[in-house]
Chain A
């Protein structure tokens, strides 16, 4: 190849990781700026509006923190499955099922006090989300059905199921025909922390993040998941219960995504409606991979991609840029980081 070839480094180039990420960001922003120019909009102004929307004001920082809550929970779950090389692409659907489960509890027992109702909603969300992840897990174990495709198809089905409920049985009679459920009762709404706009869902994030970190690091099961991630055959030789571990990581993954759905329904929109589905489950995959599946880095990258979403919304308002600008950037960043990873393990040398 042009007189150059790849040579494996003796040791991974650890300083390369941040350099690759910065390089990937610069490349992605460059290409996106070009796209803006292509649509006859000023790229400089676009990036400025994006920056202001992401980091330029206290409302922006707060918005990003709020959006990072569901993204973080979904990404934490996805990362646990990815760690075992189980490709759970279904966070979006598990998120939907979690929202459905929580809404079922909130609509069925509206008069319960919050202290009983809230845990019930979280339990229902976890069970529904975990159930939705259990289907592809069991299909993969019993029949070797590819979980990438089954989880993805279950996403489409989950979204349609949510629409079916909101357009049908759960529609608010007082909504003038709009597809929304009745508003949740106060007991079913997660409250704010103090005077800020931040709600207690954030505490759920911090708690789950620490718990997952400790689980993967200090428990035997966590260790077994990491070993099983080296491959099914290695797991078998180590006499690990590969099937049980697959079901476990998928259930954890689904339950966490379910919690994200519960928190969005309860704290952010106070009811269930189709607009709850905005693709957090797909962003979570980008987040998990950028963070190299580590809980702390997932926190950071969840915040950054949430900030990107807020920035893109700001661009939508000020420059009428389509919302899909955010997906373009997510796709570009992920692809360039994947490509750049090569420089961490290989170096380019001249052919002799």
Chain B
């Protein structure tokens, strides 16, 4: 049971959780600066396509991985143009970005449905993969999973220990006060938004380069929205985001396994699991009553003076 079911399930959990992890950390960074970006679903879709396309044309999946991140930056820039520069409503702009991104991804991707590309394959990480159980679960994965282990650590260091990270947090909390001590509030918001966009894009790359090597429309399948919800569940803290991402990875992996084994439960009910869990997770975080952890100026634009 342990060897044949639980260990493979946990290994699959890590794999399904990884794209959500990248996206959740990206959205935390964005929101730390005070911008609410609801376009994650569209950004991940676009990034997945960019990663697929660049890998297909260059043959090098690492180029594709970075291209996905850059696609995320471009999409985030659109949101910034509307909300930071033109002071548009952040909620509506994010929704529009999702509609646009998903549409664009399907439009550009339709001719390539079913096309295979190079991608990242699993390999045993030297030494560490020999650890019983832990090695099988965490260190027989693809390169992008190994990269994802570093990101939360770097993220925590960046936000809590560097002056840029602290400045971004200050702008999210109280832009007027940040500006008063000489910080460039608008520029810092841009940095957080674009940096977050890059991470969200990397999550999209994972979907088309490692999760599957075949192009299909609708790869994102609601993961972007789950990431937005996980930010609240994580109380804007990267450590809890890791836990949340793997929780969802686990549910998705479990549900796929049940379908593969063949149960009497109809697949449409099984597919509801992650979405229902998202609502449950939000209820749970609400009961813990930590929504006060949100950046105080989240979703509020910085109006120019005069």
Contact = CB atoms under 8 A, between A and B. Distances in A.
Interface of A: 5-8, 35, 39, 87, 89, 139, 143-146, 148-150, 152-154, 156-157, 160-161, 163-164, 167-168, 282, 285-286, 289, 321-328, 330-332, 334-335, 338-342, 345-346
A6 B304 contact: yes
B259 to A, nearest CB: 13
B100 interface: yes
B282 A146 contact: yes
B210 interface: no
A324 B103 contact: yes
Nearest to A323: B106
Interface stretch (B128-136, B160-168, B175-183, B221-229): B221-229
Given A157-B276, A342-B86, 13 more contacts: A6-B304, A7-B306, A39-B111, A87-B91, A89-B95, A144-B291, A149-B278, A157-B275, A163-B268, A324-B107, A328-B104, A338-B96, A346-B87
Interface size class of B (residues with CB under 8 A): 35 or more
A322 B49 CA distance: 15
25 contacts: A6-B304, A6-B306, A39-B107, A145-B282, A146-B229, A149-B232, A149-B278, A149-B279, A153-B222, A153-B276, A153-B279, A156-B222, A157-B272, A160-B269, A164-B268, A167-B268, A322-B106, A331-B97, A331-B100, A335-B88, A335-B96, A338-B82, A338-B89, A338-B92, A339-B86
B100 A332 contact: yes
Among A139, A153, A323, A325, chain B packs the most CB atoms within 10 A around the CB of A153
Contacts of A334: 92-93, 95-96, 99
Q: Which 5 A-B pairs have the closest CB atoms?
A: A331-B100, A327-B103, A338-B88, A324-B106, A143-B286
B302 to A, nearest CB: 11
A5 B306 CA distance: 9
A60 B119 CA distance: 45
A321 B111 CA distance: 10
Nearest to A145: B282
A339 B82 CA distance: 5
Given A164-B268, A339-B81, A145 B103 contact: no
Contacts of A167: 266, 268
Given A157-B275, A341-B86, A342-B87, A285 B95 contact: yes
B119 to A, nearest CB: 24
A340 B103 contact: no
Given A328-B103, A341-B86, A342-B87, A149 B228 contact: yes
Interface of B: 38, 42, 78, 81-82, 85-89, 91-93, 95-108, 110-111, 222, 225, 228-229, 232, 266, 268-269, 271-272, 275-276, 278-279, 282-283, 286-287, 291, 304, 306
Chain A's interface: helix, strand, loop or mixed, by majority?
helix
A276 to B, nearest CB: 15
A156 B226 CA distance: 12
B279 A286 contact: no
B268 A161 contact: yes
Contacts of A321: 107
Nearest to B229: A149
A60 B2 CA distance: 62
B286 A327 contact: no
A341 B93 CA distance: 12
A327 B266 contact: no
A139 B279 contact: yes
Among A150, A286, A335, A345, chain B packs the most CB atoms within 10 A around the CB of A335
A335 B100 contact: yes
A321 B107 CA distance: 8
Contacts of B99: 282, 286, 327, 330-331, 334
A331 B97 CA distance: 6
A342 B102 CA distance: 26
Contacts of B105: 324
Contacts of B282: 139, 145-146, 149-150
Given A6-B304, A330-B103, A338-B92, A324 B275 contact: no
A304 B152 CA distance: 46
A292 B306 CA distance: 26
B97 to A, nearest CB: 7
B1 to A, nearest CB: 30
B287 A324 contact: no
B93 A338 contact: yes
B188 to A, nearest CB: 15
B92 A168 contact: no
Contacts of A87: 91
Contact of B287 (A89, A143, A164, A326): A143
Contacts of A144: 286, 291
A289 B103 contact: no
Contact of A145 (B96, B107, B111, B279): B279
Contacts of B266: 164, 167-168
